[in-house]
Structure 1
Amino acid sequence: MEDYIEREQRPSDSFAEDLVSHFLDEDSAPGVVERARMAALLLPSVTSQEVSEVAKLYDFTRNVVVKIATPLMSLRSPAYTFWSVLQACRQLRFPRPSLDLPGEEEVAKLMQSVAAEEMEAWPADADDVDARLLGLFENTADKRLPRSGAENGLRAVSAAGVPKPSRKDLAESESGPFGEEVILQNGLRVFLKETDLFDDEILVKGRRWGGLSEFQESGMFSGGTSCEAQVNQMCAMMLGICGLPAESLQECLEGKRVDPSPPSMDAYTTSLDGSSSPADFEVLLMLLSLLFLQPVQPSAGSAGRLSLVKLGLLAWRLAEDRDPASQFRRRVQSAVTGNHPYTWLPSLWRILRLNFQTAAQIFNERASEPREWTFVLAGKLPKKEKLLTLLETYLGCIPNKGTNERPDDLEMRQAVTPLDIKFPEKCVREDVHIRMVEPKGSTVLSFPLRLTAKSSEDQSACQEELRELMQLQLLVRLLETRLVEVLRFRRGQVYSVAVGTDLALSPPQMGQPRRGTISVSFECDPEESDELVAATREELQRLRDGTAALTPENVQAAVEQDRREFEELVHTNSRQT
């Protein structure tokens, strides 16, 4: 259905792949209309008995390979060893070095006995799955704010020089406001942007100020970012968000085009996103409302889930230490940031001492004050009258702990806890040697980056900062093109070169220039790394002293490429949110 609705809005990549298979392999290549016609013709005629007959073809008593494996208690598997000892201590028994695996005959008898058992019919649900979310929402009536009864007016938002994405005539798309904004009775700010780019898509993104920088610990055995803050999203998902366990929530969303995502924290912000079709848009709004109205609460009955979360975190932490790419990335971060505690991973001891109550409290605090959030809705939105009613019903009813008056966005931005991460004052060289099957060399050159423009409430200052960021983007593109020309085409020692910037950890406060890093990375033969580093530094010096300055033709080509990419990105809803 989705493909049929958006048949005239799909990119050409999928069609090109079908035609290539049709030409080379003589595969059939029906169009979207023909596939939809065949589905509408054949699917209604499929009966449940026919589906059951297909299931009978999966005979587990023959032509089946069963693999049973368990790790041994050894220094090579510390996570399993430690977990086995811990479980043995909890159950007051001696830990076994290995599990007694069943033999071939035992496995065959086990499968035959299972096949011979009489299966009971799946019990019917105690409630209607389709109405479960609605019933849960109706049960929160005592928590919700009463509707004010006053219609909130929309405020038109204009953006001079920015085209309004539309598949209509260009002159028509540039006329009118860029979008509209409304502030609900609880202070929640919602920006609405209706587009006709895709007829079956609505995207929702939310953000509030405040992130992981607020949870920096101090102490000899802790330090870094709080472990509970780093894993609060995973803990909440396992415990159950929106007042439902994970499997129950998944059951409610079966057959619906709704993709919610719980809040996740970056350095300075907390964000969430979701998407749905216009037909299921009300379900998405209901989930967002329940996310705020139903806090996560660990209980004694979720002990098994929490044990699995801890075991998964231990496995992830040990995998990070074994992965060569992760080891190299962390060493680069340590060298660039001066081994700042923010970049530290949680230790095994901190994971074992993880307090799920604290993790749930952090998650609930992020989703408790709607007046601090800003939502952006883009896509095929309903009519304004219906849309405002839905927003007031599901989002405007969420209460705050205190007043419903929305705080000033600039004050919330200024109140963010900054991270004092400084680039090393002297040149630092790190040689990372990792045992691998085949030799592979990854090289990264990082340089400090500090912009001159400072953001402020003055519109001209913001324009100057935006101009400087765009100039930086063009410089990165030109620099990458030049280094590819030198290292690949002239020297032939690398395949590609990547140049990028990172300003994510720059303090967001007004009046401070942005700072970060600009990095040059490439992969090469480890024995040629020093030679290529010298060649890169030499080319950068030539650019600085004007010996090999960029020409106006180079800049014009980069501007044209950037303009075309911008025009392409404008026609996607994700860029509008």
Structure 2
Amino acid sequence: MLIYKKFIRMIMKEDNVQNIRWNLFRRLVFFVLGGILLITGNAKGQTTDGGFLPTDSCVKIGHLPNGFTYYIRRNTEPKDRVTMYLVNKVGSILEDEGQRGLAHFMEHMSFNGTTHFPKNELVDYLQKAGVRFGGDLNAYTNFDETVYELPIPADDPTLLHNGFQIMRDWAQDATLSPVEIEKERGVILEEKRLRDGVQQRLRDRYFPIVLNGSKYAYRVPIGLESIIKDFKYETLRRFYKDWYRPDLQALIVVGDIDVQETEKMIVDMFSDLKMPAKPRERKIYTIPLLNKNQFFSATDKELQTETIEVLVKHPEEIIKSDDDFRKALILSLLNRMLGSRYYELSQQANPPFIQAGADITSFIANLEVADAQVSVKPGEEEKGFKALWTEIERIRKFGFTKTELERAKSDLLMAYESSYKEKDKTPSDTYVKEYMDNFLKGNAIPGIDFEYQFVKKALPHFTVDDVNRIMKTYFNTVTNRDILVMAPETSKGKLPSQTDVEQWMKEVADSALTPYKDSVSGQTLLPKKITGGKIVSERELKELGITELKLSNGLKVLLKPTDFKDDEISFFAYSPGGTSLSGDKDFESADAAARLVNNSGLGNFNAIELSKFLNGKRVNVSPFMSERFEGLQGQMSPKDMKTAFQMMYGYFEEPRADSVVFTGLLSKEKAILENRSNNPTLVFRDSVSAILGNYNIRRTGPSVKKLDEINISKAFSIYKERFADASDFTFVFVGSFKVDSIKPFVAKYLGALPQLNRKEQACNLNIHFPSGRIKKEIFSGIDNRSTVELVFSGKYNYTTLENTRMNALSRILTIRLTEDLREKESGVYGVGAYAHYSKYPENRYSLFISFSCKPGNVQKLIDETLKQVKELEKEGPSLVDVNKFKAERTRQLEVSLKSNDFWLNYLGQKCLDNAPLDDVLTYSELVNSVKPKDVRKVARDYLSGKNFIQIVLYPKQASN
């Protein structure tokens, strides 16, 4: 992970990583790095006078006399839902010195009492309506903004009205009760504790350098512990009164609503927002460019690998005109080509680095960066860095090739075509993020119709000279360049100096480099002609909209056409067996088998050639091998069905084992594992897995020794054996296809797969959670933080009804523990109960309760947790909590039933369990049938504590 990307995730207060909002430029860059393009809309016409991009005509943008802004768009994806965001141009950058952390604190307090929803009534009210706290109801605080998110049903007029009332209360009517402030101090300190760690320690040291001594370096949203503990109530109230005001706020409403009625409601409810009598200036802070080069070097006990990174900072450009858009497109092409170059470098027997990459992307505040980074093996700093920098210099001297550019163009156009095809199925969240970016940054929102036409016209005119010119400009390291070197503590005293790195850069620049040769295979993917098979039977499951096919080779296919997406088909295929059929001595080879094939190419193409072949195609097909199954999974665009089915066929009949590439991959993995014990989170994870798996070698963590046990020939032999017989395979396809259009591909490619008529089942390895009561303490790490894992387990009565009741138990337990451990005790930031149950190889269950806290509070919070468990056993839950579970599950199901992912996962799991496919038709009835006495019964049956495991991570010093 590049350091600048760590910045953004680290500094944002986020209950969900998906809350990161990229602007248009960021999205273009993120797409070429493998993300999802999020440029959507329905614009009309061309650019406006002066070359400025138009505004999407489908969004209603308005401004109230008090300065409040609103965006409204009707969108029926998903149906009967509306998403509201209250966006404030208010973040930690506006804090006075004595307020550091209060922007984020204020965000928390908005959930702890407003005029119409005192104390915690807001969360309680929404939970009763099926809105999950954290999962749906959410917020985050960044340097420059605080954003509140509320997705709610739109088919209940009272709930919809109250949703607007909640937004109105958040805008200016938080109560800021002293009692609630005191309770929230502990919650935020626990959130800060979660963020403490190696990245935080390093950030505190390098922020002043990379942020050029600006205010941003000293306004990380989580704030200072001393201020969070002791600030006066009036200090928080002053921040709220100064900055939560209409001229800095926008309400974004996108969903299945009437635009005119919504606008009237906004005007009625938000027009009375008051401006302060003497409003403080909302200064726009920036990070100045110092026109000098800087260097940072540090070690830390918990780092696993050594990283060298070069950042070249530039002023960020807002996308408003067609010229801005063209530049953003060129940057996207450049990043795609950079990524391909480094991917090729990584495909070596002895790669010169663990990981390397370079790109140009948005940074923080007013800056964007050209970034190049490399993770190196111990003692190979010079070798690794020179490999990274050689490619930068090669491109600067010789540029990219025309064939590279054409592939990048094809990929970018494919992404826009897909977005254009999906324009009527675009999720509301996508529009919200764009409008939020328009309000905060000023980036244009022209809409996909305009963008797609623009891209189709612009792409053919881009030349390698256009891309090369930007490359030379952005990677000009003469000034505004930072070099960052970070490594494990064991490398202290051995790290390269600024002089060393600059000398390596000079040596690379002065070396006799040669131009890049773009090798493209002229072969077809598969080496032989496919004769195909036949569909021997066809059956319709009308209630589910599913067609079941049986092929001449015994293979079964389930087809579920949907209209949820216009350019997406997802699939899953499986056969019983997996690694369970390999003995312990071959386990590591079996476990690596699918990974070997995945990294070796396919058919006539090696991995690099396959990557180039798939440029411009929306196809992803990957083999997998789990403990009990082997199979394939992936996605495709309908237009790329032929390629996808050829790949499915190829992973059976034409797999490859590239020992050179895989040896290189293993060498990188070994380098990472050498310092795995430095990371307390991984130490704890490995320990939990080993304890719960009774220390079976299939459950203990990864190690260099285990990698050494992998025999590439044996791994490939196991793979071919597991995929030698298609007669016991089941394929599930869900998405935008017609049954008659996909059947010829099914018959030709899947029908041609080999048939041995083996009758296999996965082996029962008898690896169970240990019985009895067990307590384990793990000591790792230097931060004052503990992690607690409590596990109940045992035999289980696996039925759909019992599973539903178990889900109710875990969800209700989560709600109660949140109310107790977080809201009452202020002892945790988050806590959750998670139920797992399996039908095979035996009916068994496990229920995990997890949280992190201050080490000194561990036993107290465990006691509180077990008290809640006992109360559920003895008294059962309240009807209110049961109804919250019902509302959440019912609302989730309404949305899920319109999702390809849901149907693929649902049908796949039902097939794996040999269970009836039509359970979903009665699931709502099962949910609504749950009563408090049912939850009490499963609590008594499964939470007795007969089999109870308590595992706690403590910092190392706690063991002294």
TM-score range, shorter chain: 0.7 to 0.9
Counterpart in the other structure of 1:295: 655
CA offsets, 1:39-83, max 9 Å, x none? 2343344345544544554676845969798999xx948xxxxxx
Partner of 1:498: 832
Pair 1:267 & 2:627 matched: yes
CA distance, structure 2, for counterparts of residue 310 and residue 294 of structure 1: 23
Map of 1:459 onto structure 2: none
1:12-411 matches, within 5 Å, as 12-55=428-471, 57=473, 62-63=478-479, 76=490, 104=502, 107-108=505-506, 110-114=508-512, 122=517, 125=520, 127=522, 132=523, 135-137=524-526, 139-141=527-529, 144=530, 146-147=531-532, 152-158=536-542, 177-217=544-584, 226-261=587-622, 263-297=623-657, 302-303=659-660, 305-382=661-738, 384=740, 386-400=741-755, 402=756, 405=757
State how far apart, in whole Å, the 2-side matches of 1:560 and 1:106 are.
62
What is the distance in 2 between the residues matched to 1:424 and 1:381?
47
1:76 to 1:18, Cα distance in 2 relative to 1, 3 A: same
SS at 1:274 equivalent: strand
Q: Which structure 1 segments of 5+ residues have no match?
A: 78-96, 160-176, 454-464
Q: Indicate conservation of the 8 Å contact 1:243/1:290, yes or no.
A: no
Per-residue displacement from partner, 1:93-121 (whole Å, max 9, x unpaired)?
Answer: xxxx999997856752541344xx6x568
Alignment root-mean-square deviation, CA: 3.1
Residues 105-140 of structure 1, C-alpha deviation per residue, up to 9 Å, x if partnerless?
A: 6752541344xx6x568467462xxxx3xx343x32
Amino acid at match of 2:663: S
Q: Is the 8 A contact 1:439 1:526 kept in 2?
A: yes
Residues 1:55 and 1:317: Cα distance change in structure 2 (over 3 Å): closer
Q: Which amino acid aligns with 1:230?
A: D
Equivalent pair of 2:589/2:709 in contact (CA under 8 Å): no
Q: Deviations over 1:240-289 (max 9, x none)?
A: 3334211010010011111121x222221223211111111111011111
- Structure 1 residues 7 and 113, CA, compared in 2 at 3 Å: closer, same or farther? same
**In the TM superposition, what are the counterparts of 1:440-459 in structure 2 within 5 Å?**
440-453=785-798
Q: Which stretch shows the higher mean deviation, 58-67 or 468-477?
A: 58-67
Superposed displacement of residue 147, structure 1: 4.3
- The aligned amino acid for 2:510 is Q
Q: Indicate if the aligned counterparts of 1:338 and 1:423 stay in contact, CA closer than 8 A.
A: yes
- Whole-Å Cα distance in 2 between the matches of residues 316 and 373 of structure 1? 36
- 2:893 counterpart of 1:566: yes
Is this contact kept in 2: 1:440–1:525, CA < 8 A? yes
More strand by share: 2
- Please name the residue that 1:433 is paired with: 779
Q: Give the match's secondary structure for 1:420.
A: coil
Q: Which residue of 1 aligns with 2:851?
A: 522
Q: In the superposition, relative to structure 1, how do residues 429 and 151 fare at CA in structure 2: closer, same or farther (>3 Å)?
A: closer
Q: Distance in 2 between matches of 1:416 and 1:186?
A: 21
Whether the 8 Å CA contact 1:441–1:525 is kept in 2: the answer is yes
Shift of 1:320: 3.6
Contact map agreement 1:155 1:181 (CA 8 A) in 2? yes
Q: What's the counterpart of residue 173 of structure 1?
A: none
**Distance in 2 between residues matched to 1:67 and 1:54, nearest whole Å:** 21
Q: TM-score when scaled to structure 1?
A: 0.76
> Does the C-alpha gap of structure 1 residues 561 and 347 become closer, same or farther in structure 2, counting only changes over 3 Å?
closer
Distance 1:486 1:180 in 2: 49
Gaps of 5+ in 2: 1-416, 905-960
Q: Is the 8 A contact 2:574 2:730 kept in 1?
A: yes
Is contact 1:61–1:112 with CA below 8 Å preserved after alignment?
no
1:278-327 deviation line (CA, Å, top 9, x unaligned): 111111011111111113345xxx44x34313312313433443321121
SS of the residue corresponding to residue 771 of structure 2 reads coil
- TM-score computed with the length of structure 2 as normaliser: 0.47
Letter in 1 for 2:630: T
1:124/1:363 Cα in 2 relative to 1: closer, same or farther (>3 Å)?
closer
Report SS of the residue matched to 1:372.
coil
**Counterparts of 1:71 and 1:50 in 2: how far apart (Å)?**
37
Contact 2:592 2:710 in 1 (8 A): no
Code of the aligned partner of 1:485: E
Contact 2:690–2:701 (Cα < 8 Å) also in 1: no
Q: Distance in 1 between matches of 2:901 and 2:707?
A: 35
Q: Counterpart amino acid of 1:330?
A: D
- How much has 1:204 moved relative to structure 2? 1.4
Identity %: 22
Structure 1 residue 522: deviation in Å? 0.9
Measured after TM superposition, the shift of residue 499 of structure 1 is: 0.5
Give the CA deviation at 1:205: 0.9
Amino acid at match of 1:557: K
1:482 pairs, out of 816, 822, 838, with 816
Q: Which amino acid aligns with 2:547?
A: E
- Offset at residue 30 of structure 1 (A): 2.3
Superposed displacement of residue 431, structure 1: 1.4
Per the TM alignment, residue 532 of structure 1 is displaced from its structure 2 partner at its CA by: 0.5
The one-character-per-residue Cα deviations of 1:347-396 (angstroms, maximum 9, x if unpaired) are: 43342243110011112222221112111111111450x42222122221
Question: SS at 2:701's partner residue?
Answer: coil
Kindly indicate whether the alpha-carbon contact (under 8 Å) linking 1:216 and 1:342 is maintained by their aligned counterparts in 2: no
The alignment partner of 2:821 has SS state of helix
SS at match of 1:343: coil
Q: How many angstroms apart in 1 are the aligned matches of 2:719 and 2:482?
A: 41
2:149 aligns with none
Q: Which amino acid aligns with 1:232?
A: A
Q: Is the 8 A contact 1:70 1:99 kept in 2?
A: no
Counterpart residue number, 2:316: none
8 Å Cα contact 1:140-1:293 kept in structure 2: no
Inter-CA distance 214–55: structure 2 relative to 1 (3 Å threshold): same
